Structure 1
Amino acid sequence: MTKLVLVWNPAKTECVGFVEREPNGSTWDCGSGGDAEHAGGGEKWNPVSTLADTFREQYEDTDDECHLQVIEVDETEATPIERVED
């Protein structure tokens, strides 16, 4: 099982997830908590994943708050998505 930190948009219709992990102490790694806080509009961390940056930008103009949730998932249950050429 793997713990994920989810960041939900204010309407709770979309979310992004980060594998839960502790930062490694480097100024270049803020861990999943930093990515999640950044994505949800909280503390700005730098650098963070591009996914966190994109989610933050998508919802930065709303007055409502994003939400965090930690869940456990069985990553072995994931199924591949076949890539299709455009």
Structure 2
Amino acid sequence: MAIAGAHLIVIFKFKSSEHIKEIGKVLKLRVVLLQSFVEQEKIGSLFSLLDKTIALHQRKLDLLKEQKKGFLQKIVCLGSIIR
């Protein structure tokens, strides 16, 4: 008796992702590849580094916008003095 929406999860550990895909095709299964803990740590480190880099660039952009405002105010002040 099949239950609608039910899923069977089977986890195999193979060296080759191609081997897993072939087994999935033969058994007509949806294959989901799981990374090892070491790979997950590396991916996490990469995303952490990307977050830090984005935050630094955002801070730099905010500072440059403030600097631009200051320059524009100086230009307006100089313009009013020259007239």
Question: Shorter-chain-normalised TM-score: which range?
Answer: under 0.3
Determine which structure has more spread, i.e. the larger CA radius of gyration: 2
Structure richer in strand, relative to its length: 1
Normalising by the residue count of structure 1, what TM-score does the alignment of the two structures yield? 0.21
Larger relative contact order (Cα-Cα within 8 Å, sequence gap ≥ 6)? 1
Normalising by the residue count of structure 2, what TM-score does the alignment of the two structures yield? 0.22
